[in-house]
Structure 1
Amino acid sequence: MSAPHRFDRGHTDDLMSFLAASPSPYHAVANTAERLEKAGFRQVAETDAWDAETSAGSATGSGGKYVLRGGAIVAWYVPEGAAPHTPFRIVGAHTDSPNLRVKPEPDLGGHGWRQVAVEIYGGPLLNSWLDRDLGLAGRLTLRDGTSRLVNIDRPLLRVPQLAIHLDRAVNTDGLKLDKQRHLQPIWGMSDDVREGDLIAFLEQESGLAPGEVTGWDLMVHSIEPPAYLGRDRELVAGPRMDNLLSVHAAAAALASVATSSAAGDGALPYIPVLAAFDHEENGSQSDTGADGPLLGSVLERSVFARGGSYEDRARAFAGTVCLSSDTGHAVHPNYAERHDPTHHPRVNGGPILKVNVNNRYATDGSGRAVWAAACDRAGVPFQNFVSNNSMPCGTTIGPITAARHGIKTVDIGVAILSMHSARELCGADDPHLLANALVAFLEG
């Protein structure tokens, strides 16, 4: 059933549009939902009772649905004739990226400057946020309990670096930034900073009445758009590739598989799923994070809504496989010694399989076989990533998903440079190679 190379460079063009339109997790899930809607998916509310038609879309229990919760989305497609114990094929990813986030009392200033008080989210490369034109985006919660997205995508803020004349040793001793004192952006001039200025400005920009906003989840973003880079345009530079690149590829793959199945192009042996979580960059422990109950709840309710029992749920989970898709490290030409000497993933070399025997990644030998088979069916090459023994690796939602749900999980992704920078770098072919491999995996 799989069609090798279903996606091409046009997918990368679309990724760049997705990155630019998704300055926050809330925008990312809204844009993902919009793309799935075009493929025939429909939203279901967690507060509604679910039955075969509600949770899948038709009287026979087939169709595509999704659940939104904050900065997370779980979407699934039930193929025609799927039994309650049919296993799932899941692609997991995350919607959040390290950045600077607005504090509860945001109005700050001094010495004639108007500033915004921010807190460090995750583990960003702090210097990458200096001397950039920054916008402001996120979610506003209104007095009536509803929410509204906001995106000020123009030069609004800036974190100015100290001039070299006042820090003569910066190029020899290195840049040293105090997270509290040195990273508060400026957004104007004033000798009279008043409480409520920032939120009043956002209300005005959003066409809201004064005092209508009672809560907010706001973050800064670089307004520089994604762009092709290099002599032959073989590279892409842009924000939030970690990990919206994976969210975008998974959504495209799920929509493609669902559309083909609905057209009768072949029977699916699994129920394909996209699970894009928030808060991976700070531990995943939230109601929208991978360590929360969201994924398990949706999968279980899907089984039960199709008439399944707890036994069917157990059978479905036992046969389920999840790909935890997140960006990884390409070999850096200026710091090649920081990488494992025998594992040097290159950009445009195909997606990477991540392995760590201490379970910072969830991949084992049997998981590798599943991934290798999917790549083979898609005609996509893949590379291996192992961290240098002297430099312990980070982790992903992979081990969390495996442990929380008892689901076989494999860690994969795309190799990039400048991970956790305000602007990251990948190969222009790797996004569509990943998407093609995900299609083959979801099709089984």
Structure 2
Amino acid sequence: MLRVPQLAIHLDRAVNDGLALDKQRHTQPVWGLATPGVPGSDPEGDVVAALAEAAGVAPDAVDGFDVVVADTQPPRRFGARGALFASGRLDNLLSTHAALTALLSAGGDAGFAGGDAARIRMVAAFDHEELGSESRSGAAGPFLADVLDRVYAGLGATAEDRHRAIAASWCVSSDVGHAVHPNYPERHDPANHPVAGGGPILKLNANQRYASDAVGSALWQAACRTAGVPSQAFVSNNAVPCGSTIGPITATRLGIRTVDVGAAILSMHSARELCAAVDPWYLSRAMRAALDVSLV
């Protein structure tokens, strides 16, 4: 529907020496020919009117909207033997797809009988992780805790049942991580080189940017072994501060043991991210096994 054109090199001869984009002035997309005061331009230049037409409603019937711009190119496999996979928003639709695939293949019953909790398998996906998660639908909001409280209430669980269930549970927080970039190996930890195609990564950080601890790490490794998939560790270069995930937030809000994992990708946060085609399958297999790992 639209595109953000970049200034031609003829008009910016120093662009190859370093590109700096102003978020306000340089990232506005173009989508039509409407130009105020220009004869012959498209008079139908109203974005809201165009969206209303697509929705089949009158423009004046639109009282509110959320509109964002996203890359719409379909994913593609490429490279030797189709070993690579490129797509927009692998971060973090890759983990969401892997988790849903694992959950749908698990099945099973849940319930409380005589105060003993049966296994309850859950997948939680949140908004606004890249913005800090502090919203009503973000991981720092009340949604997951409220859902768990209502599940316990619906099953007739007591407060003691709830505490015991949390203590006997664990959370697999999955977000993509950095594969070693072949052109920039110095940006990575010299002793830990996770690669695309090497299986799920276990994220470790002594400053609790990730929530993994020794017990959670052991549980995840057991899940990977059960699933028959390789695994690898991710540790950031100490001179390059790492990002974080919703893992520490979830662990803090619920008091649940949490391990941070994911798939190794390149070009994170670009419009076109890259992973090994096998890694989403590896991750879903490991998650499926993790759903059956018990702490007791």
The residue that corresponds to 1:416 in the other structure is: 265
Contact 1:351–1:433 (Cα < 8 Å) also in 2 = yes
For the residues of structure 1 that align with 2:241 and 2:157, how far apart are their CA atoms? 43
What amino acid is aligned across from residue 252 of structure 1 in structure 2? T
Deviation at 1:324, TM superposition (A): 0.4
Which of 244, 248, 257 is 1:395 aligned to?
A: 244
Q: How does 1:79-228 map to 2 (within 5 A)?
A: 156-172=1-17, 174-192=18-36, 197-228=46-77
Which of 143, 155, 158 is 1:306 aligned to?
A: 155
For the residues of structure 2 that align with 1:343 and 1:438, how far apart are their CA atoms? 23
* TM-score, with length taken from structure 1: 0.62
The residue that corresponds to 1:318 in the other structure is: 167
The residue that corresponds to 2:129 in the other structure is: 280
What amino acid is aligned across from residue 141 of structure 2 in structure 1? G
- Does the residue aligned with 1:356 lie in a helix, a strand or coil? coil
Figure out how many residues of one structure are paired with residues of the other and give that number: 281
- Structure with the greater relative contact order (CA < 8 A, sep ≥ 6): 1 or 2? 1
Q: CA RMSD in A?
A: 1.6
Q: How does 1:233-382 map to 2 (within 5 A)?
A: 233-258=82-107, 261=108, 270-382=119-231
For the residues of structure 2 that align with 1:269 and 1:326, how far apart are their CA atoms? 28
The runs of at least 4 aligned residues of structure 1 exceeding 4 Å deviation read 193-196
What amino acid is aligned across from residue 187 of structure 1 in structure 2? W
What amino acid is aligned across from residue 70 of structure 2 in structure 1? H
For the residues of structure 1 that align with 2:99 and 2:183, how far apart are their CA atoms? 32
- Does the residue aligned with 1:272 lie in a helix, a strand or coil? coil
For the residues of structure 2 that align with 1:440 and 1:231, how far apart are their CA atoms? 30
1:23-81: CA deviation from partner (whole Å, max 9, x where unpaired): xxxxxxxxxxxxxxxxxxxxxxxxxxxxxxxxxxxxxxxxxxxxxxxxxxxxxxxxxxx
Query: Alignment identity in percent?
Result: 59
Contact 1:269–1:443 (Cα < 8 Å) also in 2 = no
For the residues of structure 2 that align with 1:295 and 1:417, how far apart are their CA atoms? 30
For the residues of structure 2 that align with 1:210 and 1:379, how far apart are their CA atoms? 55
Unpaired segments ≥5 residues, structure 2: 38-42, 110-116
Contact 2:87–2:274 (Cα < 8 Å) also in 1 = yes
For the residues of structure 1 that align with 2:257 and 2:144, how far apart are their CA atoms? 14
For the residues of structure 1 that align with 2:57 and 2:216, how far apart are their CA atoms? 50
What amino acid is aligned across from residue 84 of structure 2 in structure 1? L
* TM-score, with length taken from structure 2: 0.92
- Does the residue aligned with 1:220 lie in a helix, a strand or coil? coil
Deviation at 1:270, TM superposition (A): 2.2
For the residues of structure 2 that align with 1:364 and 1:393, how far apart are their CA atoms? 17
The residue that corresponds to 1:138 in the other structure is: none
Contact 1:280–1:396 (Cα < 8 Å) also in 2 = yes
Contact 1:361–1:399 (Cα < 8 Å) also in 2 = yes
1:399-423: CA deviation from partner (whole Å, max 9, x where unpaired): 0000111111000000000000011
1:258-317: CA deviation from partner (whole Å, max 9, x where unpaired): 1xx36xxxxx95211000000001000111110011111111111111111111111111
